[in-house]
Chains A and B, each alone.
Chain A
Amino acid sequence: MTHPFPPSLSPGLGASVLRDALRGVTHMAGLAQDALRPISPHLPLPLRDAVEGGLRTLETLTREENAAPLDAATLERAQAFVIGRSDRTADAEACARCLGFAWQHLGRDHEGLHHMLFSEAVTAGLLCKLAECHDSTETQRAAAILETIIGSGAILMLPGSPVGTENGIELACEDIVSSALVWLLAERAASTTQELALLDMAQALTRSTADATASGKLSRAARTAQLRNLATHL
């Protein structure tokens, strides 16, 4: 009996753990390819083809699973959580799923982030705790999510990453999470394709106002207001 790879993921927290595992495999396959590149011309051709082909296939298959489009219901649940109208566990998990998706999509061209792992399962856990604490009202929720993710273990540097890749990483992480939050706060688009375009626009808009929206000394309320204002103009 053969099993399809990657497997179809079931909904719920278990799925987020499995997606994290797949993300880890994607990253490790990428790192292995980077490490092999200088010596690959010296390897026997059949071995080189087998190793490189296998790593490429592994990277592609696992990446595709995590890049699967989000459905409208997941986006709506995530939005309800980000605007602070829901504290439900399922909505916190949907938010983590959307942030993981955004990380995958927006970080794809950022070389430094190839060595960073965004953990959807850790994020889901953190967001559930955030909701339980009830210290983030509607006016503070978006900034609270941003602070929670950036200041926690939700984004990790992979073991074996080249030295020096951490330069500028914190800003890049904040850029992606801020952009994802602006996207989730905005009015929903009509289709999955348009949602993806909207996510790209959210990043362009967030980057263009990066000086004004840098977390710096802003209060949660002021930071949330800025993110919401950007979302209004998205």
Chain B
Amino acid sequence: MQILMTEPDSALALHKEAQRLRWLFEAFEHQQHVTEQETGFTYRTDRHDLALAFADWLKDFEAQKPADSRSNAAYVGFAAGLMLRALIRHTPSSVSARPKAAQENDPAHFWPEGYLYVAFCLSVRGQVLRSDYGERQYQSGKLGDLRTWWSFKENTSEDPSRAIGFLDLFAGCEPAWDVPQIFRGRPGFRLATGQPGQTGGHLR
């Protein structure tokens, strides 16, 4: 999976910049181009639906934003998961042209729209962690595993909130499957604030 790696053209920290619709439109368009080059698919993205996804995400993002700054880096991963959930709910992108040669075992061919959304969310997650918190994002082997993608698609069609756990899985982190939509229930939150009883962080 190819993800965009561009620096923001702004004086704002990236995690602040990413809370603006103008940045989202530009970054998503860039990621769409990168994914089209990688997969051979051509996508059409409805800007109104993308704005709906952004507004949906923003509401959830602000509702659970932690007061304790020690949780900020952990919140980046959660926020990326919320964005994936919003994209899956609002489905702003659709495939307008398919490549001639389909590769059945490739997740990008199994679910092209989901593949684009995951690529976008991982790219934003990775960039924010790197530029604002000096942390590195890992990519799990699950990202290329078709069975995981099959489960991902089926589970999120039943409950889009499960997308949050799957993004954690793809990024090599321990998902909180029980309550994926609650930040305070995540291992990352407990680690950052010193709450006992959980392990977390990246799985190698």
Contacts and interface: CB of A to CB of B under 8 A. Distances in A.
Interface stretch (A152-160, A197-205, A220-228): A197-205
Contacts of B50: 204
Interface stretch (B18-26, B98-106, B120-128, B188-196): B18-26
Contacts of A201: 21-22, 25, 47, 51
A205 B52 CA distance: 7
A18 interface: no
A156 B144 CA distance: 59
Given A201-B25, A205-B54, A233 B48 contact: no
Nearest to A200: B47
Contacts of A169: none
B203 interface: no
Interface residues of B, number: 14
Nearest to A201: B21
A197 B47 CA distance: 11
B36 to A, nearest CB: 21
Interface residues of A, number: 13
Contact of A234 (B22, B47, B48): B22
A207 B51 contact: yes
A171 to B, nearest CB: 16
Interface in B16-50: 19-22, 25, 47-48, 50
Given A198-B22, A233-B19, A233-B20, A207 B58 contact: no
A207 B21 CA distance: 13
A209 interface: yes
Contacts of B58: 233
Given A197-B22, A201-B21, A205-B51, 8 more contacts: A197-B25, A204-B21, A204-B48, A205-B21, A233-B19, A233-B21, A233-B58, A234-B22
